[in-house]
Structure 1
Amino acid sequence: MRTFHALGALHRVVEVDEGLRRQMALRYPGATVTGELADALADPEVDAVAIATPAATHAQIVRRSLEAGKDVFVEKPLCLSLAEGEELVRLAEAEGRILMVGHLLRYHPAVRRLKRLVTDGELGRIQYITAERVSLGRFRREESVLWSLGPHDVSVVLWLVGEAPVRVRGQGSAFLQPGVADVYAAALTFPGGASAYLLFSWLHPFKQQRLTVVGDRRMAVFADTEPVQKLLLFPSGADWQDGRPVPRRGEPVPVDYQREEPLAAECRHFLDCVAERRTPETDGREALGVLAVLEACQQGAQNRFPGALVHESSYVDDDVVIGPGTTVWHFSHIRKGSTIGPGCRIGQNVVIGPNVQVGAGVKVQNNVSVYEGVELEDEVFCGPSVVFTNVHNPRSHTPRMHELRRTLVKRGATLGANATIVCGVTIGEHAFVGAGAVVTRDVPDHALVLGNPGRIAGWVCRCGSRIAFGEGEEAGRCTACGQAYRRVEGRVVRG
């Protein structure tokens, strides 16, 4: 209000608190002060609305303002979900309205000078960026510290790097209020090789707002809490001598920049965009990039699968269930609609899905693809590079996914390394398919299958050892654990 009043643009003030309304009426006698947003939105003399309310209310007020035909400036964050933000951006574009988000640091003259250093190649290739925004309070109840403080630095980091991250990891902790994180740490990886490491906290013994950009030529530091000189350029880096990196140190050099209050520059930019009908630098589309990072950080901190471990190099689609105690190792992909039970071990470079059911205690070794149509019951073991098919006679030029044949691997079965399981078969409980075998027909319980095509070469116990049957005898025992078995009509049963 102070800034828009100084710029001669303040026409109305909407404030729900009666005591604050009285203060505003005395401070800004030229403005109409009311407690009803509807009155302001119905005023034909109001061209634009500036929204500085709790973050949880942003989406509703932005939507009402756009629908009333007003241009909108809203403080960060645009809203508290990416999906909601996309709806607001679509609405602004459909209504032909200006939508600007208050990512204030983008209008800080020192940060704008820092952007020029990066663009002009003064720092060389960006290697990594660190950002710290910590202080004691102000505590929020509507949004976590990530959503309260994070938009500032995320917006600047994306601007400096000039591309969206390919991987986002986040971790937060709540100490004061359950479910409202007081500290967040995030790591961003960009396709060009740069990284960013961000720390946000409102439970810190001192206030610090520092952004460090490390390039392969020079380094720069923006320290917003410094009273005078906020931007320094360091000639520091690393040089190579005799095949070894050695540090290159140097005294920091202050960087000159235009002195202007960032908020005044931001508000003036909004008024210019309204008057000239041009897109703001921090428009709704730019805000969506920030929301995408914040949401990814939050999802990384809120483990989607409590008690499970999914390696950061693996991908898990939406609509997937992974049970507690399950581990998914490097470079694997769990596709949509799939369910993996508890206590499983999924190795490296494994693809499961879509729509595959994996039971409890299953072990899938490296380089296995479990395609749609395959079901693995509890305690199945798939050795390295086992091959499943799901179409009987595939052709590249003839779509046949509608001809999927179901393959069922029953409880406790073992599939040896490089075995091939042709679709449409059932492998019985505790059966054992030897390494390299090709299974083309159903396998009964406890059968040992070897060769190409696979043939029954014996029988195995639940423990995995052979069952010894005397010649012509129907009763036998496991050679390891002594469990008794009987042959009944071409199959083997316990007892």
Structure 2
Amino acid sequence: MSHTPRHGVAVVGSGYWGRNLVRNFHALGALERICDTDAEVLRRFREQYPGVRTCMSLTDVLADDGVRGVVIATPAEKHFTQAREALLSGRDVYVEKPLALAAAEGRELVRLAQAEGRVLMVGHLLHYHPAFLELMRLVESGELGRINYMYSQRLNLGKIRREENSLWSFAPHDISILLALAGETPERVRAVGGNYLHQRIADVTVTHLDFPSGLKAHIFVSWLHPFKEQRLVVVGDRKMAVLDDTRPWPEKLATYAHRIDWEGHMPIPTRADEAFHPVAEDEPLRRECQHFLECMDQRSAPRTGGEEGVRVLDVLGAAQRSLESGGAPQCAASGRETAPTAAPESEPGGAAGHAPDAGSIPGVSVHESAYVDDGVRIGQGTKIWHFSHIMRGSDIGRDCRIGQSVVIGPDVRIGDGCKVQNNVSIYSGVTLEDGVFCGPSMVFTNVRNPRCHIPRMHEALPTLVRAGATLGANCTIVCGHTIGRSAFVGAGAVVTKDVPDHALVLGNPARRTGWMCACGEQLDDTLTCPVCGAHHEMRGPGLVSLDQTNPRAERGTYGDEV
């Protein structure tokens, strides 16, 4: 297979899975750059691929006019901000699974790609597997008959993760292909799991999908299994099909024309021999990379575009909520149990014209002087106080406290349990994860060098505030940076670069002066909290707690292997 693209690509993140993307795009003659934060990894790549340029920041990638496609294979906690920045720079974007951390983030990327006229593709690898493509043909042609149920198993001993559970690590591929085979969205999602190696991270999960047509499916994933198993079973009323990816190529896809006869009101099975379906022996990842290049050249929609990635995130989010609630059924239609406000549609950036009744959003308290635009989603238990304005497209989590004279939006995402104090404006491009504290009158910027007479909103840079961070009163966060988990920005500080996890930063420009515990106390010289006793250790530029698990990370944010 050969291809001469009009434009080259840069692979951002070249770890466990990224190096496979590097290999394939290089073989296709499209690799322009490799971006990674590990200098030693980049040195080895320069030896392996002479002539391919390397760099350590996405900024360098986006400054290269020779790069027209950006391939993102970093941890998924970075997918949203990096994909958004690449789309805003005018690049086509390929994102490894999952597309983002939440469906709301995925929808924002889809909207942005459409507005910018860019290709947005998600790395759902099995859609490019020759055996799965043949299975799709069997289903769509009716050869299997009416599909009664499906199940998928992805089991192995490892690769065990501490950043995410097995649902988020293994199941996105299975959810993606089951949705494609079903051709519809499940109306109910239920998930149960078991935690054996870590009390708060599920090692084994079983997810059930109930579809409106009556079709049912389930997904069993585990990294605590005695042997590797990757099997998809589709049971129709005419034939049954099995895709077993651990078998040799000539035996990967088999069908069984079993028949059920009724004799004396008793079902009697009649077994048939398995029939193997020959498929082309080809690397699925090579096909996937080739497809992205073709979409770039032809300006065509990918087979696994952003919309498909959002559908998978909807189901993953519902499964996670069910897992956390002990298996209670969840709806996969939206990521939150909320309803849009009843306020009339507003002009872009304007108020809805009147404040909604406090009771018009179930479980939410909105002061009568506040304005909430049409299309806003607000989680249960959240309170919005006097004279605040929540603008169109914004998504606010549960149990948040929004103070007086706060402006949020448009299209801002705020996690659960956040507190935004008086006189704070959170503009488009800012994302707050769970448990973020924004002190009174603190400031988020959105462009680096504003001028009244020069429009620069197309240069807006995203800002990410990670879970549990504190932003002190009157501090300023210059756009385009990330504030790490449980970091603490002191009152009046001016942040001009990324802040590591657990860092305490003070001054103008802000500099690290210490380390903070998630409980809000400064750590001693041994990186131990003098109040709660939590122990920490250095991990990269920041700290990690050895005694606490970040709830955000438990939801799972990325997974490399199929």
> So what's the TM-score if we normalise by structure 2?
0.55
Contact 2:190 2:329 in 1 (8 A): no
Contact 1:65 1:71 in 2 (8 A): yes
Among candidates 320, 327, 337, match of residue 318 of structure 1: 337
Matched, 1:301 2:323: yes
Match of 1:337 in 2: 363
> What do residues 2-48 of structure 1 show as CA deviations (whole Å, max 9, x unaligned)?
00000000000001111101111111112101112111111111000
Match of 1:254 in 2: 276
The residue matched to 1:170 in structure 2 has which SS?
strand
Which amino acid in structure 2 is aligned with residue 126 of structure 1?
I
Give the drift of 1:310. 6.4
Match of 2:232 in 1: 211
Match of 1:75 in 2: 96
Among candidates 39, 47, 61, match of residue 40 of structure 1: 61
Which segment is superposed worse, 248-257 or 134-143? 134-143
Match of 1:128 in 2: 149
> What do residues 88-125 of structure 1 show as CA deviations (whole Å, max 9, x unaligned)?
11111111110000000000000000000001111100
Question: Closer, same or farther in 2 for the Cα pair 1:60/1:174, shift >3 Å?
Answer: farther
The residue matched to 2:313 in structure 1 has which SS?
helix
Match of 1:449 in 2: none
The residue matched to 1:222 in structure 2 has which SS?
strand
> What do residues 129-166 of structure 1 show as CA deviations (whole Å, max 9, x unaligned)?
01000111112233221111111111100111111111
> What do residues 332-359 of structure 1 show as CA deviations (whole Å, max 9, x unaligned)?
xxx93399xxxxxxxxxxxxxx99xxxx
RCO higher in structure (CA 8 A, sep ≥6): 2
What root-mean-square deviation, in Å, do the aligned CA atoms of Structure 1 and Structure 2 show? 2.5
> What do residues 293-338 of structure 1 show as CA deviations (whole Å, max 9, x unaligned)?
11110111111xx8xx96889x999369xxxxxxxxxxxxxx9339
The residue matched to 2:31 in structure 1 has which SS?
coil
Mapping of 1:23-38 within 5 angstroms? 23-38=44-59
Structure 1: gaps (5+ residues):
321-334, 340-353, 356-495
Matched, 1:19 2:32: no
Distance in 1 between residues matched to 2:237 and 2:198, nearest whole Å: 42
Which amino acid in structure 2 is aligned with residue 35 of structure 1?
M
Give the drift of 1:238. 1.9
Give the drift of 1:178. 4.1
Question: Aligned pair count?
Answer: 322
Contact 1:56 1:143 in 2 (8 A): no
Which amino acid in structure 1 is aligned with residue 233 of structure 2?
T
Distance in 2 between residues matched to 1:142 and 1:256, nearest whole Å: 39
Matched, 1:232 2:251: no
Distance in 2 between residues matched to 1:28 and 1:310, nearest whole Å: 51
Give the drift of 1:176. 2.3
Match of 1:270 in 2: 292
Match of 1:2 in 2: 23
Computing the radius of gyration from Cα coordinates, the structure with the larger value is: 1
Question: Closer, same or farther in 2 for the Cα pair 1:163/1:319, shift >3 Å?
Answer: closer
Distance in 2 between residues matched to 1:311 and 1:286, nearest whole Å: 22
Question: Closer, same or farther in 2 for the Cα pair 1:46/1:338, shift >3 Å?
Answer: closer
Question: Closer, same or farther in 2 for the Cα pair 1:133/1:50, shift >3 Å?
Answer: same
Match of 1:347 in 2: none
The residue matched to 1:260 in structure 2 has which SS?
coil
The residue matched to 2:243 in structure 1 has which SS?
strand
Matched, 1:61 2:93: no
Matched, 1:195 2:221: no
Which amino acid in structure 2 is aligned with residue 300 of structure 1?
S
Matched, 1:172 2:193: yes
Distance in 2 between residues matched to 1:310 and 1:77, nearest whole Å: 24
Structure 2: gaps (5+ residues):
1-21, 340-360, 366-379, 382-562
Contact 1:74 1:102 in 2 (8 A): yes
> What do residues 39-63 of structure 1 show as CA deviations (whole Å, max 9, x unaligned)?
1111111000111111222112111
Contact 2:322 2:330 in 1 (8 A): no
The residue matched to 2:67 in structure 1 has which SS?
coil
Contact 1:80 1:147 in 2 (8 A): no
Contact 1:55 1:142 in 2 (8 A): no
Question: Closer, same or farther in 2 for the Cα pair 1:253/1:30, shift >3 Å?
Answer: same
Among candidates 161, 179, 194, match of residue 182 of structure 2: 161
Distance in 1 between residues matched to 2:163 and 2:314, nearest whole Å: 19
Match of 1:453 in 2: none
Distance in 2 between residues matched to 1:53 and 1:312, nearest whole Å: 29
Match of 1:371 in 2: none
Which amino acid in structure 2 is aligned with residue 91 of structure 1?
L
Distance in 2 between residues matched to 1:208 and 1:240, nearest whole Å: 34
> So what's the TM-score if we normalise by structure 1?
0.62
Contact 2:322 2:329 in 1 (8 A): no
Distance in 1 between residues matched to 2:157 and 2:193, nearest whole Å: 17
Which amino acid in structure 2 is aligned with residue 234 of structure 1?
Y
Which amino acid in structure 2 is aligned with residue 238 of structure 1?
I
Distance in 1 between residues matched to 2:318 and 2:329, nearest whole Å: 16
Match of 1:350 in 2: none
The residue matched to 1:83 in structure 2 has which SS?
helix
Distance in 1 between residues matched to 2:314 and 2:329, nearest whole Å: 21
Match of 2:560 in 1: none
Match of 2:137 in 1: 116
> What do residues 422-457 of structure 1 show as CA deviations (whole Å, max 9, x unaligned)?
xxxxxxxxxxxxxxxxxxxxxxxxxxxxxxxxxxxx
Which segment is superposed worse, 33-42 or 5-14? 33-42
Contact 2:189 2:330 in 1 (8 A): no
Distance in 1 between residues matched to 2:100 and 2:198, nearest whole Å: 21
Match of 1:381 in 2: none
Contact 1:54 1:142 in 2 (8 A): no
Give the drift of 1:186. 0.3
Give the drift of 1:239. 2.1
Distance in 2 between residues matched to 1:10 and 1:289, nearest whole Å: 30
Match of 1:242 in 2: 264
Matched, 1:150 2:150: no
Which amino acid in structure 2 is aligned with residue 318 of structure 1?
E
Matched, 1:93 2:119: no
Give the drift of 1:274. 0.3
